Amino acid sequence: MRVVGIDPAPTKGLDTFDGSDRHIPLSGARSFVHSLYSDQGALVCWDAPLTGPPTAAVFGGEGSGSAFSQRPIESFFSKSGTGFKTPPGISVRPYAGCPHWALSRALLGLPRVGPYDADHEQLPLKLVTSGTPPTSGFHVVEVHPAVAIWLWCRERRDSTASWEYKKSASVSDELWNLLLANPDIERVLSGAGGDRPTSDDVLDARVAYALGRLWLDRSGSVTLLGSADHGSFLRPQIAGMREAFTAFVAESA
């Protein structure tokens, strides 16, 4: 199955990686998404929120609390009590405040937020929010490359090191080198030729691809955290994270 990592931006368009880097201007973004259909199937790893309020609210029920602003998965990575609060530079914004919201809606019909949205069966790609990797068909899964970079690299960096890779080329280069020191990541990103990413958008697209490729090819190294009701995205397998997330959701209910 083909894997495509995509970092969407509301004015710049799409940065993509499927073994090589490519930039798709906004004027060609819709055509590119439709071009992903092929005989081999595709898994699109999309760096933007693809779920919104809980399923009951999507299908006409009443939302409450932060249902229309922040998902539990975003709260989880924002609270120090979970043990997985991200540092400055690794931003996990409430989904309603993400600037690529409208572009995701326009190209994918996602996230669905209420009963007047198109049925899942009418959307161009089937959303995966739980379970095992698909083996055929055309699917999209949410990823958060910044969180993945942090999880993959945090044990090998000084606790005071900056994570502001979107603002600093030197930080971005250091993180790229740390990622390539992981044999699994180096193997799936070998098509990049070892060249450093030319921007943080390119880095995010490459990491999005690595998450999807490893999810399909190397069982257990990458897993899907969350659900349709709580938000979900692919992330590196980290001991204790799933249990911590389950406990956090239960305590927040």
- Asked whether the beta carbons of 235 and 222 are under 8 A apart, the reply is yes
Structure tokens given for 19: 């073994």
pLDDT digits over 189-228, tens only?
987 777 999 999 999 999 999 999 999 998 899 999 999 9
Structure tokens given for 108: 């994918």
- No. of H helices and E strands in the chain? 9, 8
Q: Which residues pair with 13 in a beta bridge?
A: 9
Question: Among residues of the chain, what percentage have pLDDT more than 90?
Answer: 85
pLDDT digits over 91-136, tens only?
999 999 999 989 999 999 999 999 999 998 899 999 999 999 999 9
For the chain, the farthest-separated pair of C-alpha atoms sits apart, in whole angstroms, at 50
Cβ neighbors of 58 (< 8 A, separation 6 or more) are 52, 112, 113, 114, 115, 117
pLDDT digits over 35-72, tens only?
998 878 999 999 999 999 998 878 777 777 889 999 99
Read off the DSSP letter of residue 192: G
| Mean of per-residue pLDDT scores for the chain | 94
- Asked whether the beta carbons of 24 and 14 are under 8 A apart, the reply is yes
CA distance 186 to 180: 5
